[in-house]
Amino acid sequence: MSDSEESMSTMPVLQKRPKISLPANTDGSGDDQDDISSTASTILDDISESSNVPRRGKGKPRIKRPKLQFRYINHVKEDHGLPLFGLSINQLTREGDPIVFATVGTNR
């Protein structure tokens, strides 16, 4: 006997393990993915239902400011440098006369 024959006779023989089989579908449809697809469709249904919930939206529409009915022609500064807080316009002048107005610059 040679060395190779001797080593083969002393080696234990490995037996094949039995295959583990997964249970087949009992509903008879033949589709192994039934459980997964029905779960996925349930999840998608839940998402579509939540999209019907009212959202915040854009808020209330902004009001457009109307154009002013006067035109800026000139400005006047007072020599004290404080802000103006009052203005009075003489409305008793005739059309064509210059506009007369008075300003108040300090709160005293």
Question: Residues 77, 67: contact at Cβ < 8 Å?
Answer: no
Q: What is the pLDDT of residues 82-92, one digit of tens each?
A: 777 788 888 89
Q: Which residues of the chain fall below pLDDT 50? A: none
For the chain, the distance separating the N- and C-terminal CA atoms, rounded to the nearest angstrom, is: 129
pTM of this prediction? 0.25
Distance separating alpha carbons of residues 51 and 45, to the nearest angstrom? 10
pLDDT given for residue 86 in this prediction: 80
At 4, list the tokens: 């190779």
